[in-house]
A and B are shown apart, each in its own frame.
Chain A
Amino acid sequence: MSSLQWFAVRKELRPRTRLATAFMSFVLPLLVWSLVSYVPWIWHPKVEVIDPGGVSYFTRDMLVDREVFDAELATAREEHRALPTGRPANPIYLPAPHQVARAFYKAFTTEPKRHSEKWLHESLWESIQVIFWGFFLSSLFGVPLGILAGTYDFVSRLFEPFVEFFRYLPAPAFGALAVAILGIYHAPKIAIIFIGTFFQQVLVIANTTRKLDPSLLEAAQTLGAKNIALLFRVVIPGIVTDLYKDMRILLGWAWTYLIVAELIGTSSGITWFITQQARYKNFDNVFAAIMMIGILGLTTDLLLAWLGRRIFPWQKAAANL
């Protein structure tokens, strides 16, 4: 297959190529990470001490800057002391892939340090609940309001200017307020996700609703559909596939608000786990936890995409992921 075909504007790749390319999109970053981690002369700004030799403050497994190590090595050589040895290393905040992979598995199996602390899966479950409630509540109000605003000019004029204004206010700015009103546990976190999602949701869905082909509405009217029937039998089914896609994207945004939300009040969920592990300098666990969020998000999205294809059989196959 020639490379020309790869860059044909808006043409789908062949299924095999498509799968391979999607696979590459994950392999490429992993490759870069592996190169930086395993090839000693790429980056590696630190030296891990193997044998302290004659340097008094060096200890085994200590990480020092390469300049410092080189200077100490030179001094030791000059003064005919035992030479320290070491190997190039990356800073502690960049663990190698295999370390993260190990942490990934370890994170679920190691008991928490203190009895009162949560296991990783418990933390994750907590986060999922916060996301769910935030997104659910936002959708409960945002979806109907968006559809109404997209259908009736009156609703649009009444709500959209304010929503437009409010959406520029950063959700985390309401953290302190949310805690003061809602206490320190889950409620303020759910509120932050709500604030972060709701206003965008209304606007996005109103726009999607407005994009419905007006000739479908006209056709329905000449068939005798009026008001409520027009809304429920034409507008809503007419936009539902696009609405579903919007919701998938919005759910992604809700996830991005999660970390900020969980820092509010008593830190909880996956964020608590991440900050805790960072405090213990277990950066492999930190990476594992971050990836966990990514994997969870992507899996949900793929699942929803698959589900979407089943519920909306009128969509052309493969028209959307």
Chain B
Amino acid sequence: MHKLELPSYLEQSDEVRDRFTRLKQRPVLLEVKGLGKTFDSAHGPVIALNEISFKTHRREFVCVIGPSGCGKSTLIRILAGLEPPSSGRVLLDGKAVHGPGPDRGMVFQGYTLFPWLTVKKNVMFGLEMAGRGKMAAEEEAMQWIDLVGLSKFAKSYPHQLSGGMKQRVAIARALANQPRILLMDEPFGALDAQTRARMQAYLLEIWQNIDITILFITHDLDEAIYLADRILVLRAHPGEVDELIEVPVPQPRSPGQFLSPEFLATKKRLEELIHPPQAEAQDNGDHLNMMRMVSVNDEVESVF
């Protein structure tokens, strides 16, 4: 096979390096210190997260990636305050967080729009919880709905929308509260490839234009590289930080960069981290027990 000569993912152009220096001078928005989570299951305690520490700066876009079951959802749920940590602390703007709050918006993988509310009322929900008057909330909600391009559907109910549209409303609903950070747990996981690409472009555009820090979970390597300033790679059993990668692909991003050397170099590195070369699957005895189940004199002898 033809071997591609790729630069190291650690090599950054001056422009990119400059940007990261400036990024790290921004105030720290989210600080996670020695975070651990142990679940008590029927088979004894399960360590889902162990000693997770990292920092996120203002208006940074961080992606979290890692093998299935490494505790990505657990991490984001702790950050959102939906789950208490077993150890460690989460600081937002230097203050410890306890329980869920409107300063941390969340977009879930499943569709969590309130089915009994129209799109507009869904987006108004957080504003009303914050004590905004009905008129003000309505006006503000319409602006956010406009931002995600769904003005025409303001009066529709969630069941009348497509999956991509639902997630756009969910984003608008979370953003309407003007949270400090937007937490997203595989928000585009259930969407088809095209819708997904479109949603990624929307999200980048939104991120570029408003004051928001984003922590985005995904298991799609391309998605992580395309979206993120930095990628937090987790390892499983127990969930620990493997590496915090600075994506060397220059900003602003465009789909044209998917085949750039920096992009591919980063992807190669992620592949190495997430699917280590010595196939770990075999160690777990996790392979198919295959035997030939095609009749001997079948017309189609072999698929090759």
Give residues in A with beta carbon < 8 Å to B.
Answer: 213, 215-216, 218-225, 229, 233-234, 237-238, 240-241, 312-314, 316
Contact = CB atoms under 8 A, between A and B. Distances in A.
- Most B-side CB within 10 Å, residue of A215, A216, A219, A223: A223
Contacts of B130: 224
14 contacts: A215-B110, A216-B114, A218-B82, A218-B106, A219-B114, A221-B99, A222-B101, A223-B174, A229-B129, A233-B125, A237-B116, A238-B115, A241-B116, A313-B157
Given A225-B125, A314-B115, 19 more contacts: A215-B108, A218-B82, A218-B106, A218-B108, A219-B106, A220-B125, A221-B82, A222-B80, A222-B81, A222-B100, A222-B105, A223-B173, A224-B101, A224-B102, A237-B116, A313-B157, A314-B116, A314-B117, A314-B157
A220 B80 CA distance: 12
B102 A222 contact: yes
A309 B17 CA distance: 60
Given A219-B106, A219-B108, A237 B114 contact: yes
Contacts of A241: 116
Interface in B232-262: none
Interface in B100-138: 100-102, 104-106, 108, 110, 112, 114-117, 125-126, 129-130
A240 B114 CA distance: 13
Contacts of B100: 218, 221-222
Given A215-B112, A238-B114, A240-B116, A222 B157 contact: no
B129 A222 contact: no
Contacts of B82: 218, 221-222
Nearest to B99: A221
Contacts of A313: 157
Interface in B162-187: 173-174, 177, 183
B126 A223 contact: yes
Contacts of A219: 106, 108, 112, 114
A134 B301 CA distance: 75
A313 B99 CA distance: 34
- Most A-side CB within 10 Å, residue of B105, B115, B117, B174: B115
Interface residues of B, number: 28
A220 B100 CA distance: 9
A240 B110 CA distance: 22
A134 B226 CA distance: 64
B159 interface: yes
Nearest to A219: B112
Contact of B174 (A215, A222, A229): A222
Contact of B125 (A215, A223, A238, A316): A223
A218 B112 contact: yes
Nearest to A239: B116
A237 B125 CA distance: 13
A221 B112 CA distance: 12
Interface of B: 80-82, 99-102, 104-106, 108, 110, 112, 114-117, 125-126, 129-130, 157-159, 173-174, 177, 183
Nearest to A313: B157
Contacts of B99: 221
Q: Which 7 A-B pairs have the closest CB atoms?
A: A224-B102, A223-B126, A219-B112, A221-B100, A224-B129, A222-B106, A314-B157
A312 B159 CA distance: 13
Contacts of B159: 314, 316
A223 B116 contact: no
Contacts of B80: 218, 222
B114 A224 contact: no
A312 B125 contact: no
- Most B-side CB within 10 Å, residue of A224, A225, A233: A224
A238 B157 CA distance: 14
Given A223-B129, A224-B130, A234 B114 contact: yes
Contacts of B174: 222-223
Contact of B116 (A215, A218, A220, A312): A312
Contacts of A314: 115-117, 157-159
A71 B130 CA distance: 91
- Most A-side CB within 10 Å, residue of B81, B82, B158: B82
A222 B177 CA distance: 10
B116 A222 contact: no
B111 to A, nearest CB: 9
Contacts of B114: 216, 219-220, 234, 237-238
A221 B99 CA distance: 9
A42 B183 CA distance: 74
A293 B130 CA distance: 51
B129 A225 contact: yes
Contact of A216 (B101, B102, B112, B129): B112
Contacts of A229: 129
Contacts of A312: 116
Nearest to B115: A314
Contacts of A213: 112
Contacts of B108: 215, 218-219
A241 B114 CA distance: 13
B113 to A, nearest CB: 8
Contact of A222 (B104, B115, B117): B104
Contacts of A240: 116
Contacts of A221: 81-82, 99-100
A218 to B, nearest CB: 5
B102 A223 contact: yes
A290 B304 CA distance: 74
A234 B129 CA distance: 12
